[in-house]
Structure 1
Amino acid sequence: MTVMKRQFYKNHKPNGDEYMFHLARDTESGEVFVIRQADFVVDGGSEKAMTLYEFLAGGGNRQNALLQLIGSLVPEAAQH
């Protein structure tokens, strides 16, 4: 499985922990999903994949950043 990713949100916590969110696509199946990558100062990190539905159900800054990225992919065109 080959996964292409594009980061759309990054959050730094005061304790040094860092969270990055990527829009991802499996190039073989075409499945599109979100990957949350967390780098923890104390114990390394973790990665979690979730469906777009699961991710967008949360609402908030991360979700708004993904919606802005999706909107930027639609070209501006003259109105009909």
Structure 2
Amino acid sequence: ELSSDNGVTWQETHLLGEPVTHAWRFWEFPWQTPSEPGKYCLMARATDSAGRTQPRVRVAEYGSYMINQWLPIEVQVQ
């Protein structure tokens, strides 16, 4: 899923390729580029086959072993 409003709403993305156990997958999303130039923040999250969704913040007890929280991706529209 993809959010362009800081995680308030989420939209489905299209997964590419075949699923592989415990592996990342590429995805695509037809994001409508804003008409106003500026910096925008996109966030992606995944949900596994058991319905568990990535958390918004990092789980501290995992240490640096697992970083699975939402990570903001800043884009510049010109």
Greater share of residues in strand:
1
Establish whether TM, by shorter chain, passes 0.5: no
> Structure 2 length normalisation: TM-score?
0.29
The structure with higher relative contact order (CA 8 Å, sep 6+) is 2
> Structure 1 length normalisation: TM-score?
0.29
Greater share of residues in helix:
1
